[in-house]
A and B are shown apart, each in its own frame.
Chain A
Amino acid sequence: MTEIPKEEFILKCTSACAGCPSTLILRYVLKAAGADTVLVVPACCTSVIQGIYPNTAVNVPVYNVAFAAAAACASGMSEAFQKAGKKTNVIVYAGDGGTVDIGIQALSGAFERETDFLYICYDNEAYGNTGMQRSGSTPIGARTTTTPGGKVHAKKDLDAIVAAHNPSYLATACAAYPQDLFKKVQKALTLRGSKFIHVLAPCPPGWRFSSEMTVEMGKLAVRSGLWILYESEFGKVTINGPSKAAMIKPIPIEDYLSVQGRFKGIDRKAIDALKSQAEQRAKHLQKEAEGIC
């Protein structure tokens, strides 16, 4: 087992909801990144979680920036640090909305320019900060406040979009597997160029489950194969342990859907769509891992 440092960079006074995945993820990200790190945070739950001026619950510098601007702002920061001969980690910590929707242009630009930074998207599959509206990352069938009858469009394939930029490192992770997340952040920060980690963030109020179930929910996502843990270093894909097991014997996705209020009343068609997306992704990743693609 990897030794995870005892040092905490998230103090105990956050204003997050109970069971908040964003806080949990950020805690391990910062443990892996260490003190020589700057976070760039666009508008999202994490803007609020930090607490209210003059307090902050995060013990590394956090640069809060406009919703669409994180990756571009980080580009400038990264170049400036390099010019000054500094090795400070520049990490964007953004929600799914700030990544797949309003922030995608800046993200694409930064990755195309091979900006030396790590971009982490914590994906709670909706706009949490404004009270759970749909995002491009909301799965089909999920109810949000702007999709009261269940979302009709499929979740955007963010990883494929980022992969198309040939980043030095791309990985998925999940709030329920902090060891795995920790290792991935550490590895990403040893590499040069643009690195990307997409972390599933089961969100109690947004997904409508009770707040002590966050980790359980993440595990169900992985075991059902709806969320696949893998990493790709310079294009070489490895599927990680928990997902390898899930690919051999997944639990029914209904076990994952039925414990979340947001999927209440989901119809067969949407369930089938979710299933077939999951299967296709698994097949595709397996092929890539075997080097067939």
Chain B
Amino acid sequence: MYEIRIHSRGGQGGVTAARLLALAAFRDGKYATACPFYGAERRGAPVVSYVRIDDRPIRVYSQIRNPDLVIVLDPSVMEVVDVLHGLKRHGKVLMNGTTTEKIHGAPAFAVDLTGIALREKLVIAGSPILNTPVLGALAKMGIISVDSAKSAIREMFSDERNVRAAEAAFQELVI
């Protein structure tokens, strides 16, 4: 089982990112679940969501304690949350941004999802949309296939700019 924890802030689309990722994994023929952990927080508060991917049906509902991958959609949550908490020994980190210098002790990758969203003018109510471009980065990391990433995005959003943003993230992420 491959376990992923996504850190974001309420309203940034972390929950949708989890759902898109699960959908893409499902389109790859895997079993997948996406469970947001809902606090009572309002917009702007740090939130986590979880994705599990496996070849067999998933029966676990409790929170992910030892993720294989941590995704940080909003690096500012790192001031209040230990995003590396419980990360598996060979676990990885995917950061939204231009640098991974704040991550120590784990292989980290950075891609400027915010920049990509702004370039594609993917902005809702003032906030750039990160949940579709991040799928491109995850495809590059080999967690989902490129085709499934695109079809998942198209199933949930009709605007092709989302697919273009994912393609851009795929191009820009250096592994």
Residues of A whose CB lies within 8 Å of any CB of B are 15-18, 20, 45, 48-49, 52, 205, 208, 210, 261
Contact = CB atoms under 8 A, between A and B. Distances in A.
Task: List 9 A-B pairs, minimum CB-CB distance, nearest first.
Answer: A17-B43, A17-B42, A210-B126, A48-B40, A15-B41, A15-B42, A18-B44, A16-B42, A205-B43
Contact of A261 (B42, B43, B125): B125
B156 interface: no
Nearest to A20: B42
A208 B125 contact: yes
Contacts of A16: 42
Contacts of A45: 42
A16 B11 CA distance: 13
Interface residues of B, number: 10
A259 to B, nearest CB: 12
Interface string B78-118: 00000000000000000000000000000000000000000
B112 to A, nearest CB: 23
Contacts of B44: 17-18
Nearest to B43: A17
B38 to A, nearest CB: 11
Given A17-B43, A18-B43, A20-B42, 17 more contacts: A15-B40, A15-B41, A15-B42, A15-B45, A16-B42, A17-B42, A17-B44, A18-B44, A45-B42, A48-B40, A48-B42, A49-B42, A205-B43, A208-B125, A210-B125, A210-B126, A261-B125
A99 B107 CA distance: 54
A218 to B, nearest CB: 19
Contacts of A210: 125-126
Nearest to B11: A205
A208 B127 CA distance: 12
A49 B43 CA distance: 11
A33 B126 CA distance: 36
Contacts of B40: 15, 48, 52
Max chain A C-beta neighbours (<10 A), residue from B39, B42, B43, B126: B42
Contacts of A49: 42
A279 to B, nearest CB: 32
Interface in B31-75: 39-45
